Structures are given as C-alpha cells and as structure tokens.
Amino acid sequence: MQSRKWLWMLAAPAVWLLDYFTKAWAREALDAPGRSIEVVAGYFDLAYAENTGVAFGVFDSVESAWKPWILAAVGVVAVAVICAYYWKSPSGRRVLHAALALTAGGIVGNLTDRVWRGYVVDFILVHWRDVYYWPNFNVADSAITVGIALLVIDAFVDPSGRRG
C-alpha cells in the first residue's frame, strides 16, 4: 500500500504543470488592457489579472515590500508541513492523500509565480451576469480549494483514519 502514496503524490506535480502552462497561455493570450475571452455569456470569462495577495485576492490590497517574501515563506512552510503529514499518514487514506497532493500542488503553483514575478497570474473569472463577480482565480487556487474541501470530507467521513 505504501506505493500508492507515491501515485497520489504525482497529483502535486501534475497540478503544478497544468497551472504553469495555463498561466503561460493566459499571459500570452490575455495580457492586454481590457482583453478577455467570453466562454459562457454572462457567467464565465477568461480575463488576465495580477494578484499580489493569496487565493481569490485576499490580502491583495496590503502594501508592503516584504509581502511577496512573507507569503512565499508561508507557502514553503505549508508545503513542508503537508509533505510531512502526507508521509506519516496511514496508507489507506486515499481521500486524505488526494487532498494533500492537490493542496501542495496548488501552493507550489502559486509559489512559483510569487517568487518569479512577485505576483500570481489569475485568469478565470466567474460572475453572475453583470451583478456579481467572484475574484479572478487560477488552476492552483482551484486545486487548493478542492484539496481543502476533500480534507473536510475526509475529516467527517473518516475521522478515525481506519477506512480508506
């Protein structure tokens, strides 16, 4: 069963690669003032944004020269904790392993942008017509969100750690 842990951990670099290439595409195709691609009229667009905060624009308005480095350090610590917990967790916890791998891959995806650029490229825009707009996000943010949701599911479905 230990070998299955390696299989699940492959999800982390897969998320990172998908995030990296979709952000590269977004920088090339969408990085122009006012440029966006309407995917589903009134609900879903692809629109370039630079986020200096964390997921979904949280802390984006905070101004500090140290902010990219503090957020990068938090990301490195988070990935280290996730990896340590991943390898110490029981082998049969498939939902937990998927959750941790998705979360780690997403964190590394945004960490890569933060270190290389000082901001994170976001390009997915979900909205309700012109009434409500969710903050732009990316593949890494999505992986982190799904990973956290799976962590919650794992905690409620299997708090003992005996089923997988």
Contacts of 87 (CB under 8 A, 6+ apart): 5
Measured distance CA(109)–CA(113) in Å, rounded: 7
Measured distance CA(63)–CA(108) in Å, rounded: 23
Our CA angle for 120, 124, 129, nearest 5°, is 135
- Check if 158 is active-site: no
125: helix, coil or strand?
Answer: strand
- Check if 141 is active-site: yes
Q: Of 60, 113, 122, 154, which residue is the catalytic one?
A: 122
Q: Of 19, 45, 60, 141, which residue is the catalytic one?
A: 141
Which residues have a catalytic role annotated?
122, 141
